[in-house]
Amino acid sequence: MADTDTESPAAQEDAPPSDDRRERLLEDLRPLLGDAIVSTHIDVGHDLYLRVDRAQWADIGTRLRDRGFQFFDFLSAIDWMASPFGRSMESYVDTIVAGEDPTAPPADMSMIGSGYAGGDTRFQLLARLYSVSESIGVVLKSDLPDDDLTIGSWSRVFGGASWHERETWEMFGITFTGHPGLRHIYLPGDFEGHPLRKDFPLLARHVKPWPGIVDVESMPGDDEGGN
Residues that bind other proteins (CB under 8 A): 1, 43, 46-47, 49, 65, 70-74, 76, 78-79, 83, 87-89, 112-113, 115-116, 126, 128, 132, 135, 137, 139, 157-160, 162-163, 171, 184-188, 195-196, 202, 205, 210, 213
> Considering beta carbons, is residue 115 or 152 the nearer one to other proteins?
115
* Integer Cα distance of 102 and 72 in angstroms: 43
For other proteins, the closer CB: 55 or 89: 89
Q: Which is nearer to other proteins, 135 or 227 (CB)?
A: 135
The sign of the dihedral angle between the CA atoms of 118, 114, 110, 108 is negative
CA 183 – CA 175 distance, rounded (Å): 11
Contact criterion met (CB below 8 Å) for 47 and 74: no
Pair type for strands 175-177 and 150-152: parallel
> Between residues 68 and 100, which has the closer beta carbon with respect to other proteins?
68
Q: How far is the CB of 36 from other proteins (least distance, A)?
A: 21
Q: Shortest gap between Cβ of 184 and other proteins (angstroms)?
A: 8
* Residues listed for the chain: 227
User: In b/e form, how buried is each residue of 18-53, taking b as 16+ CB within 10 angstroms?
Assistant: ebeebbebbeebeeebeebbbbbbbebeeebbbbbb
Q: How far is the CB of 25 from other proteins (least distance, A)?
A: 14
What sign results for the dihedral spanned by CA atoms 116, 117, 118, 121?
Answer: negative
- What minimum distance in Å lies between the beta carbon of 28 and other proteins? 19
- Smaller CB distance to other proteins: residue 49 or 176? 49
- Quick check: helix, strand or coil at residue 205? helix
From the CB of 183, what's the least distance to other proteins, in Å? 10
